[in-house]
Amino acid sequence: MTITRVTGNGGLPMINVSNDHADAVISVYAGQVLSFTPKGAADVLFVSDNAYYAEGKAIKGGVPICWPWFGADPEGKGRPAHGFMRNRMWSEWETRENADGSTTVVLGLESSPETLAIWPHAFRLAMEITVGKTLQLALVTRNTGDAVFTITQAMHTYFAVGDIAQTTVTGLEGTQYLDKAADGNGGTKQQDGAISINSEVDRVYFGIPAELAIVDGALKRTIRITSSGNKTAVVWNPWAKIAAGMADLQDDDYTRFVCVETTNAADDVVEVAAGAEFRLVAEYSL
Ligand SMILES: O=P(O)(O)OC[C@H]1O[C@@H](O)[C@H](O)[C@@H](O)[C@@H]1O
């Protein structure tokens, strides 16, 4: 096993992991996995060639962390969408080699005067990343204050696909979803069959099963996503017009990824009692 600490794009600190099972690139900035390549396979994750690598900006791709809220500021105070952890420096807390040959890297961040000014709660947030035959992720929220707080959150994962037109997302058949791409939020709809993407898709699915899959006809592979701690999942693809308006995406990048996000979103709000810990867990495998 090798763990190499390098200066990555934009001068940001990154950790390269290489073991018998896979290679991975992990950005300490934003606590974000950028690449997961099982031996003999193509990268499971997509990162935009136009991504920003700069303090204060989110990196478009990999596994961005949305925390302590998902989506728009829940209190309407004009704070940034998806919280304040995806555009700030984290720290390396621990690395270890496991008996099965996998490698664990733990990144984290604790509340500071700066975060308390944005969100007035003491916390300790850790991202536990295990690179093995699969990629195991745990986003662990600890309430270090003396009163309960509530959060919504996401592992906003960009999965690489060969061609969005030959991709389906399965496992959500028959569930209800909030259609955020429809005018006026569209209300709740029911998913008929597997999800095909041929226009903007921005949906919060409710009552999700423990396993979802991305079936990629072009790369001829299936990515399995299992999760726990969440009742919701988000499926997002901006499609052509929105992608063209995003400076950190190339115009045709929407054909190369789909975000299938392990979330506590919408009404899936998590209460964390004083001194308590909450784990949101996801695992990706080919
Ligand atoms: O461009 P951002 O801020 O990273 O967000 C991307 C998308 O993230 C998704 O999770 C949201 O549901 C979308 O509404 C949003 O557009």
User: What does the pLDDT look like over 33-60, one tens digit per residue?
Assistant: 999 999 999 999 999 999 999 999 999 9
Residue 173: per-residue pLDDT? 98
> Could you give the CA distance from residue 17 to residue 120 in angstroms, rounded to a whole number?
35
Three-class secondary structure of residue 118 per DSSP? helix
pLDDT tens column, 260-275: 999 999 999 999 999 9
Mean pLDDT for all residues in the chain: 97
Residue 184: per-residue pLDDT? 67
Q: Which atom of ligand 1 sits closest to the CA of residue 81?
A: 3
The model carries a pTM of 0.98
Report residue 183's pLDDT band, with 50, 70 and 90 as the boundaries.
confident
Which alpha helices (DSSP H) does the chain contain, by range?
113-118, 239-244
Q: Which atom of ligand 1 sits closest to the CA of residue 82?
A: 3
Which alpha helices (DSSP H) does 26-154 contain, by range?
113-118
Which of 217-238 are b and which e, b meaning 16 or more Cβ less than 10 Å from the residue's Cβ?
Answer: eebebebebbbebbbbbbbbbb
Mean pLDDT of all residues in 186-192: 89
> Could you give the CA distance from residue 208 to residue 49 in angstroms, rounded to a whole number?
32
The answer to whether 93 and 108 have CB atoms below 8 angstroms apart is yes
ipTM (interface pTM):
0.96
Q: Which domains does the chain have, with CATH numbers?
A: 2-285 (2.70.98.10)
Mutational pocket test of ligand 1: of 60, 67, 82, the residue with most ligand atoms within 8 Å of the beta carbon: 82
**Residue 202 pLDDT exceeds 80:** yes
Three-class secondary structure of residue 23 per DSSP? strand
Which residues lie below 8 Å from residue 228, measured CB to CB, with a gap of 6+?
210, 279, 280, 281
Cα-trace Rg, the chain: 18
Point out the residues that are catalytic: 156, 261
Q: Which atom of ligand 1 sits closest to the CA of residue 70?
A: 10
Of 252, 14, 155, give the one whose Cα is nearest residue 3.
Answer: 14
Taking the centre of ligand 1 as the mean of its atom positions, its distance from the CA of residue 146, in whole angstroms, is 32
Taking the centre of ligand 1 as the mean of its atom positions, its distance from the CA of residue 243, in whole angstroms, is 11
Taking the centre of ligand 1 as the mean of its atom positions, its distance from the CA of residue 246, in whole angstroms, is 11
